Structure 1
């Protein structure tokens, strides 16, 4: 690896579960899992510590299945705000070694140390320094992959560092044929179960066999995702580590799973308006407006699963909640036939700056400006006093999910 190319991926081992072990010494030496709903046997395992994994427990399996494998497993309710705070602490720590830090998830972060080696040593030395500091200051274990680009760093971490005793591995591009290509195709990042079956039906059973297959053939069968996976098998990735990785986003969206089937249009209006408020608030915070409105509904009847996803484009870009809601309601009226709804989502795309308002000869421009300003003022109030400090009257009805959602981060309670 040359000094011009040095990317690290910092991945925290069993992040949620490890934090709970650190903060609860009484659980030391005991298998522990963080479950989405410990009070229900149907809860899902969000994180399992290494001791729990040794018992066969896996992330994303049902809690009752985990308890069958290990009856004395400690079950802890997730506290998302605490995990977010620790993730931010880790970001600040690794930011002391480079200003090029890109969060990949709450427990994974890329860092480009190309320009840091004169100050802190080789990429491997920097990796060990960071690993030791995280362990000393937070009591957590980090696994670190090192590569010439982001995909090599990711693969180094997932395929090798997680299995190494010291938790650090370097995957150089000129070593992938020896180290990575013999591995099963299912081990490659981006290859899911269905894709793995398709590859095997094509006679592709190892990463090397995929890498040596003509790229055009893979793209023709799997589209753009297939091309990306083929590039990964060859260790190719042109995306830089950047602090502005999410700045060029194409849209804003939000969804929620409902606590019961919603079958009344009035009840759907309540939750859809709340989602429109959230989406428009995020757009306003980013200084954006959107022209294309989307609605997603998922549910089931007693005989089949049902879903719709439709969109429409407004004549004028907007981030005004009621204008977006009006568009969403048009889609609801046009496409929903009354099937029970268990999940809803709303989005806006086709973004532009909120500094470029388009005037209309047919609309009340003064009133639109007033409604826009009200939205920004409501955002300021909620930013200062909380999401439920100011709310619409409809959010006081039983159909509302605003209060419950205000207690959660990423779908889980803070």
Structure 2
């Protein structure tokens, strides 16, 4: 690829399911899926091994649907901490070949090997070495797309490497017109079903149609279509279609300071009583404020919202309010969030609640008041934070969290809503 960059995207096949099979050799030749707990109405397929997929099982369908397609499928509850550990292990493996490694998701990582070719061989040789090391170390199969930019590496992986027997594919600049451009517009990275339909209504049916269209014309067409300025979106799609992506592989991508801190909780049943809902809002306030204290920030804007269980007949709201002073004190955030909830809740049953704190700033910068009690609150909450960090979430908690409405005990055994 001449003097162009050599970027790779490593993607692990059916990651959660592959980790489970590697940990349980007795399942190696059996269809296996990773799914939630059906008793808690969270029985959604998170991952399916290739053998399970051959029965028509897909991710995001219900466990009931999966079992109807393959009654003998092995169902494993997710073990999120194990997946995170394996993902970190793969990151360490990639760093043996380059220090330029950027996690893209739990099972996808970019690696820039432009400066490693003289040490480890050709791009393909490096890809094979990476695959072998990941397989031997974790038992997981990696597919690797090779390109001259992050976006071409991503498309090389998604469109070809995942379908190849050896799981490796290289997309060069010279091959773009012959390989990428003839594909349907729906295959372009970042183009979903809805955007694909919009492009087709504009007469853009292939990736090549988009790539070869003058950028000025594409911007005009999108403005006409959406009745608003879409110049940035138009240029983004046009650049992707032409394989243009100057962004570097950056190990520090996810170390940027957050603009907001939030948490969402999906409840095991519909909550009808305000007293029960108040318990969840208090727990969410605790989670959000604890994270803020860990980041040494506080926020001035509280957002709260809820949703019902029905997707066909959606209910709920999302609102925000600005407090008089920024804070990361649990009770102050709770009071603001509860006031907001009481103002907008229509009494409909609640299945999902979210709460966030934004307009963040350094917690050491705050306005003193005449009767200042902030230092006392801070010392108390820092002490409880330290206890939880050392002994676990359930070592200390508010009484409301130990009622039937509370989710503290159940949540302490999960990561990202899934069991550890």
TM-score by length of 1: 0.92
**CA separation of 1:321 and 1:219: change in aligned 2, threshold 3 A:** farther
Q: Tell me, which stretches of 5 or more residues in structure 1 are unaligned?
A: none
Between stretches 11-20 and 284-293, larger displacement belongs to: 284-293
Aligned-partner Cα distance in 2 for 1:375–1:181: 57
**CA separation of 1:187 and 1:4: change in aligned 2, threshold 3 A:** closer
Deviations along 1:327-365, one digit per CA (max 9) or x if unpaired, are 21221122112121110001122222233x222345x33
Aligned to 1:315: 324
Matching residue within 209, 221, 241 for 2:249: 241
Within a 5 Å distance, the mapping from 1:112-123 to structure 2 comes to 112-123=112-123
1:400 is displaced (CA, Å) by 0.7
**CA separation of 1:170 and 1:288: change in aligned 2, threshold 3 A:** farther
- Quick check: 1:359 aligned with 2:371? no
- Quick check: 1:271 aligned with 2:271? no
Deviations along 1:198-218, one digit per CA (max 9) or x if unpaired, are 222222222222333434246
**CA separation of 1:282 and 1:76: change in aligned 2, threshold 3 A:** same
Aligned to 1:57: 57
Deviations along 1:46-65, one digit per CA (max 9) or x if unpaired, are 11111111222211122222
Within a 5 Å distance, the mapping from 1:10-409 to structure 2 comes to 10-37=10-37, 43-213=43-213, 214-217=217-220, 220=223, 221=226, 223=230, 225=233, 227-248=235-256, 249-299=258-308, 304-355=313-364, 357-361=365-369, 364-365=371-372, 367-409=373-415
Asked whether the equivalents of residues 301 and 339 of structure 1 are also in contact (C-alpha less than 8 Å), the reply is no
Aligned-partner Cα distance in 2 for 1:17–1:323: 43
CA RMSD of aligned residues (A): 2.3
Q: Tell me, which stretches of 5 or more residues in structure 2 are unaligned?
A: none
Aligned-partner Cα distance in 2 for 1:281–1:218: 47
**CA separation of 1:29 and 1:344: change in aligned 2, threshold 3 A:** same
Aligned-partner Cα distance in 2 for 1:240–1:44: 36
Aligned-partner Cα distance in 1 for 2:38–2:404: 25
Aligned-partner Cα distance in 2 for 1:55–1:396: 43
1:134 is displaced (CA, Å) by 0.8
**CA separation of 1:347 and 1:195: change in aligned 2, threshold 3 A:** same
Give secondary structure in 1 for the equivalent of 2:315. Answer: strand
1:368 is displaced (CA, Å) by 1.0
**CA separation of 1:226 and 1:381: change in aligned 2, threshold 3 A:** farther
1:93 is displaced (CA, Å) by 1.4
Aligned-partner Cα distance in 1 for 2:70–2:322: 53
**CA separation of 1:284 and 1:361: change in aligned 2, threshold 3 A:** closer
Aligned-partner Cα distance in 2 for 1:16–1:302: 27
Aligned-partner Cα distance in 2 for 1:395–1:41: 21
Aligned-partner Cα distance in 2 for 1:126–1:67: 40
Aligned-partner Cα distance in 2 for 1:399–1:95: 45
Give secondary structure in 2 for the equivalent of 1:173. Answer: coil
Deviations along 1:123-146, one digit per CA (max 9) or x if unpaired, are 332221111101122221100112
Give secondary structure in 2 for the equivalent of 1:246. Answer: helix
Asked whether the equivalents of residues 202 and 221 of structure 2 are also in contact (C-alpha less than 8 Å), the reply is no
Between stretches 311-320 and 124-133, larger displacement belongs to: 311-320
TM-score by length of 2: 0.91
1:112 is displaced (CA, Å) by 2.1
Deviations along 1:237-261, one digit per CA (max 9) or x if unpaired, are 2332222212222211110111111
Deviations along 1:298-327, one digit per CA (max 9) or x if unpaired, are 116899421211112223222222222222
